[in-house]
Structure 1
Amino acid sequence: MSDAFPDEVDEALWDEACRRADAIRDFLKSRTGRMSVADVALLATELEISQATAYRLIKLFRAGGTVMSLVERKPGRPGGHRVLDDRREEIIRTTISRYYLTRNRASFTQLVRDVQTNCISAGLRPPHRRTIKARLEDIDLQKRAKRRGETKIVKNTRAVPGVLAASRPLQIVQVDHTKADIFVVDEETRQPIGRPWLTLAMDVCSRMVTGFYLTMDAPSRLSTSLCLLHSVFDKSAWLREREISEAWPVAGFPDTLHVDNGADFRSQSFKRGCQDAGIAIDWRPPGEPRFGGHIERLIGTQMGKLHLLPGTTFSNAQELGEYDSKRHAALTLRELERYIALDIVGSYHHSIHASLGRPPIAVWREHEDVIPLRLPQDRMRFWLTFLPEQERTLRPTGIHLFGLRYWSAALTADVGRSNRRLLVKYDPRDMARVFVRRPSGNFVEARYADVTLPSVTLHEALAARRALLTKGRRELDTRTIVGTAVEQRKLVEAAVKKTALARRGPASRQKTRVEDGGWGSLRGVDSSKPVAFDEDTE
């Protein structure tokens, strides 16, 4: 668990590891028996490495099964460190935009020459061509083709409506988001808190729902990742927690994720996590929703079921009429999640699908024995890869996150040893535990410091915190606070004057008393001569 995550790896190292992973996957698929020396020699030639290195990489890939297992570790460079400085990065971006992404269609060789020339002119060391290629490949292929007027590539990167098909389950899985047509209420107050967002994943071949995620937050990398996690892992325990007895047999990596062009599907963390697991991502052409017809129809079906529930907003103003959605809202987020899950596994999966002419569950069962089930070899690491993260300082009292405090005995040895902030991974669906990366690089599980607390979602924790702050503001006595502050200010000013007077010494105090008349009237007395005082007078 001490290795870096995919999004922490240098660009050039990651690209090379991806290239090696693709070649080794193809190599292993085509050879089911024992490898010959000649076969390994061919692979070594293809990858431009020695035979010994080829054997080592094959062994690493068989053990890990991920792109990360092939990333070369360079001594002295921390994971995720970018090699180039900001000035050279800016030169690469500007040169690509100004000279390569144009109708003139400059070649890649010319682009490399232009970048290197511009860097040398600026007194900077020119980057390697692999680095320039990596930056170029970060740009969407279709976007590049449009800017360069390469109509053939644009055409080839567009799917034709109606032809998206899969020959077996998990070959293509579509994912999309929608704002649910219903208001939900708070767990405690039962007051409406808004409309949640639903993220759905569906297998194109069988039309089975592979997973979903319901949240009050707008679509993001988080909702996409949690939907994927729900899709990949076995759902038996998840169903038991929600007291659902129907089976949901879908699990395993999809070969390809078919998604739209939203920023959540474009995040580096999400892309690299999928690459690491061998999941390809196929982005739909922007502005053309018909390319996601399968998942769009499923979303429409699910929203239609919600229109039967209290608090529905229906799908348009005409259907809504005078119905007050907020006033009639009755279901909490948890209750709505269970309702949707019941509908998926108990109704949708067992009903005849219009396009298939059969229930989705029947199609899945038919192919179940031949589905190449791929599951994470390191389930915990795969899970942590897609969880959101924060950085926190380890205090003597533990890790503080979103107003909650966590502790693990394994953290005892790290308290006070370092000022370095630690990476904390958390699951917003269950905030009873978090995962903390220690300075040594290993992750440890930390749970509530107060073990009597129940498990809550992140949304519930934040809502409770807001409620406490609101209650505190209502209980403020502003007049008392201001009055106290004024009295404190007077006290400080008086103390400063007394201290300054005391530090000037006895002579100063005597002079002050004379000037102020503290000793009575001494005018006309020669102050250069000593003044005698009778003992009685003194």
Structure 2
Amino acid sequence: MQLTSFSPRKRFKLFEKVVMIHSIVSPDRVVLVDEDGTQRTFEVATLLIHYQSRNLKGLNSEVTEPTTAHVSVAMRLAEDVSEAAKMRGYARRLYLSAIEREGARLHPDNEVLHLALESVRDTLGEPRVPSIATIRRWQSQARRQGGDPASLIPYFERRGGPGKQRMSTTVKRAVDAVIDNFYLTTERLSASKAYSVLEGQLEERNRWAPQKEQLKVPSYSTFRRRIAQRGAFEVDAARQGAVHALTSYRSTGRNTEVYGLNECWEIDHTWLNLFVIDNENGLGLGRPRFTAIVDHFSRAVMGFDVDFTGTSAQAALNCLKQAILPKTYLREQYPEVQSDWPSHGVPLILKCDNGAEFHSQSLRQTCFELGIDVAYCPLKKPWYKGRIERFFRTFNEWALTSLPGASGSSIKERPAGYDPSKGAVMDLHTLRRHLHMWIVDQYMHHDHGGCHESI
């Protein structure tokens, strides 16, 4: 595994998002900041767990900008403010203008002040006038911002309400830290256990804090809502691992690769859900290996190979040979087959996974001499060759389920006491004949969303 270290300003990818180490709180705790400026505290042990589960990945480049903070001025635009806030700011401005126009002094016994406020209240149709303390606060706000009328517009968007966060910043950070370091880990603690950790941490802090600095422990439902605000991808990646999350939340749209007929083939192996016997002594041989090639454009089966030799380079070469050559043997060896199998040719690309047999010198040399480019799919991402994967699923579910000796795709689906090896009666030659009949007479005539009828 690649070594990594945590130092200030160093960048990583956490749950497929770029984050930077903002500061180091202690030797075992760091503060990360994402591209939106959100800061979250992580324990180093938690980050190492995410690193092992491939959720945390290092980036080569580091931030080179100076660390001095830049002061920016935030302006509130009219279109960013609600109509209610605008009307409230207008009303405040009328009250202050009336006081300034009359030159009234802010005192409870000032009759001029009361008359000016009552006049504005009648104009606005409000039930009561603002208090003197409120008016002083408005004047202070306007004075701090140079008399800008926008300073009197209230920040209604900062108030609490449905979906709004009411907890203090300190409690919010404590909640996020518990979620990140206890709930979003491969230990997969339940939400109730993580909440118990939060309660213990806040109660311990309140034990030594002054009365005025006591923190309110959020309710369990609030804690659950805070978890629900995290993205589903982040939760699954942290608790199940990056590979599981990328597989579950990958795009399910159509493949963007564009290939014509006979341009790209997909090849792979699988173990058949069927037990086969020896044709001489009748003893069970087990489940045979099945290698197949499917055309990416038409989803037509170009060739296959079935045997007990394992997932070897020779198996891939045998399958490739049958896919390239015309199926002239069909009528002589398998007269039971009713249709023709015209699929043959040489592709431009052979798409496969990263199995050792596909990296063998013999296979690569053969493809080089035939002018075939070998394309290797990314690790643990089988959907990059989804045609062949889908064919294997269809094949095992459709072609084998009714045969004697069929094991099924899951041991849980078998009847109690059923042993598929004892019911096997089909030898390898009979299996090959059955496979030719199924592929040529059934599968090739079925609509798979491709265009194999043009082959």
Shorter-normalised TM range: 0.3 to 0.5
> By percentage of residues, which structure has more helix?
1
Q: TM-score, normalised by structure 2?
A: 0.43
